[in-house]
Structure 1
Amino acid sequence: MNTIYVYVLDTLADWEIGYVTAELNSGRFFKRGGRNLSVKTVSYSEKSITTMGGMKVVPDCLIEDMVVDETNMLILPGADTWNDAKHTAILKMAREFLAHGAKVGAICGATVALANLGILDERPHTSNGAGFLAMFSPNYKGQDFYVDQLSVVDNNLITASSAGSLLWSKQIIEQLEVFQSDTLEFWYDYFNTGDSNYFFKLMQTLPSDE
């Protein structure tokens, strides 16, 4: 079973991970024979965290319990508390994941934390604007690799701006290969436009129970 680790920390931006965690955990649109995934929340402490929306989350496991494997993935959500030193351990784990070929998804404030650690210095990435990382990450030297898009895939790293959560979720799902390609396109088109025609096309791509 592949494990998708979702790092949880105080002030976590609820909406940024909502699309991807809901789909990966429920598997409601998975293709037949899609990979068996386990979504686990992980943190630096066993204590609950409070999201930006006021939700309490008790982590499933601690950082030291994580398994570094190319079949697993680490998702780093945005938050206002990434500059706290207690998050250094998960950032080092993110570096280890990338080094072992495992996937890492980072959005909004998490991209700032990666930038400050030098992880974005020599690979294409994005964030909340061209000058955003330089403003908030004093060690950032990756300006030449910045891509002004909502979400950017560079091999096993997927970064996104705070406004790119839907596209970021699509790209993560695509990397994990758990949807049929047409299912994923219609899923994205429906949530991106609200056009009900895409919803019915999405439903028609799903495998029947027969």
Structure 2
Amino acid sequence: MGTETDTTTVHLAVYDTLADWETGHATAWLARAGYTVRTVGPVAGEPVTTLAGLRIVPDLALADLDPGESALLILPGAEKYDEGDELAPFATKARAFLDAGVPVAAICGATAGLAREGLLDDRPHTSAASFYLAATGYRGGGHYVDADAVRDGDLITAGPTDPVAFAREIFARLGAYEGKRDAWYRLFQHSDPAAYAELNG
């Protein structure tokens, strides 16, 4: 594709102990908006197992993921982020995305991975709790925001209990559901019946 960025393919990182509930709103509704969602794992074709025990076969390997062929990299949380450095390469890839001007969205444990990579040292961000990230030893505590989700330019962060707010910020960064994002959020976050008619009108 040369130096132009693919604006229609979103990449979802998948790895063992992935937290199933954290990215479903984002990926399902991005697909409905016309994006192609492809999964990226440690090894292409080698299944990973989520916290729910679901097996996912990644479409491609992390090593083969080029920021220029993606509109967004989504990093879900996983217990493995708190068990060692096995998932550190995903944070390294996130740095490559951000350096290339391609957005990254991280939720829950994935924010700890970004913190260890130094990507949260100087930009507004959030996570499960400030002390969770402080335990990584990162230097960005002064930029922590106590919010459901935070979008700072090309970086989106959220805690594990806020998948709807996480998706809303992803849509905003990609320009999806213009004019209907508020209704979408009210429907899925607050079960507002009036929002359904707005979203589907």
Structure 2-normalised TM-score?
0.91
Deviates more, 1:44-53 or 1:7-16: 44-53
**Identity across matched positions, percent:** 37
How far is 1:192 from its partner? 1.2
- Equivalent residues in 2 for 1:61-72 (5 A)? 61-69=60-68, 72=71
The answer to whether 1:14 aligns with 2:13 is no
The answer to whether 1:54 aligns with 2:53 is yes
The match for 2:119 is: 119
The match for 1:200 is: 197
Match of 2:187 among 174, 178, 190: 190
RMSD: 1.5
Gaps of 5+ in 2: 1-5
| Equivalent-residue separation in structure 2 for 1:70 and 1:155 (angstroms) | 19
The match for 1:208 is: none
Match of 2:29 among 15, 23, 30: 23
- The runs of 4+ residues in structure 1 deviating greater than 4 Å are none
Deviations along 1:60-107, one digit per CA (max 9) or x if unpaired, are: 111122121286210000110124433222211100100111000000
The match for 2:96 is: 96
Deviations along 1:104-128, one digit per CA (max 9) or x if unpaired, are: 0000000011101111001110011
Contact 2:80 2:86 in 1 (8 A): no
Change (3 A) 1:132 1:85: closer
Query: Secondary structure at the residue paired with 1:85?
Result: coil
How far is 1:38 from its partner? 1.7
The match for 2:3 is: none
The match for 1:106 is: 106
The match for 1:166 is: 164
Letter in 2 for 1:125: H
The structure with more radius of gyration: 1
| Equivalent-residue separation in structure 2 for 1:109 and 1:86 (angstroms) | 13
Letter in 1 for 2:196: F
Gaps of 5+ in 1: 28-35, 205-210
User: What is the aligned residue count?
Assistant: 193
| Equivalent-residue separation in structure 1 for 2:69 and 2:38 (angstroms) | 16
The match for 1:87 is: 87
Structure 1-normalised TM-score?
0.87
| Equivalent-residue separation in structure 1 for 2:85 and 2:130 (angstroms) | 25
